[in-house]
C-alpha cells in the first residue's frame, strides 16, 4: 500500500465494501505495521509506516480506493 511518498509495504486485506456509482469507490479494511506514535492517530492520513528495522504495532485501518473507468 502506498499513499503519496509513504510506503506501507505489505498489508493484510481483512474486508472491503464497494460504493457503486459512475466511478465506484472501495473502502478496504487492512492490517498494517505502523510506528508506535502514529498507531494512536484517528485520521488515516496521519498514520506512518514502521520501518522494517524498528519495532512498531499492527493496526486495522480503512483505506479508500478510487476506480476510474477507461474513456472511450
- What's the pLDDT tens digit per position in 1-58? 888 898 888 899 999 999 888 888 899 999 999 999 999 988 888 899 999 899 999 9
Cell numbers describing residue 44: 488515516
Q: Name the residue ranges covered by the structural domains of the chain.
A: 2-66
Measured from the Cβ of residue 34, the count of other Cβ atoms closer than 10 Å reads: 20
CA-to-CA separations, 35 to 23, 44, 54, 62, in angstroms, rounded: 33, 13, 8, 17
Report the predicted TM-score, pTM, of the whole model to 2 decimal places.
Answer: 0.77
Alpha-carbon torsion (2, 3, 4, 6), positive or negative? negative
Q: Which of 51, 54, 63, 61 is nearest to 2 (CA)?
A: 63
Q: How far is Cα 20 from Cα 27, in angstroms, rounded to an integer?
A: 11
CATH architecture of 2-66: Beta Barrel (2.40)
Amino acid at each position: 500500500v502506498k499513499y503519496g511518498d509513504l510506503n506501507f509495504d505489505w498489508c493484510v486485506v481483512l474486508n472491503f465494501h464497494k460504493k457503486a456509482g459512475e466511478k465506484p469507490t472501495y473502502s478496504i479494511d487492512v492490517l498494517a505495521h505502523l510506528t508506535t506514535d502514529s498507531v494512536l492517530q484517528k485520521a488515516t492520513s496521519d498514520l506512518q509506516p514502521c520501518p522494517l528495522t524498528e519495532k512498531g504495532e499492527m493496526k486495522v485501518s480503512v483505506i479508500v480506493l478510487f476506480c476510474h473507468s477507461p474513456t472511450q
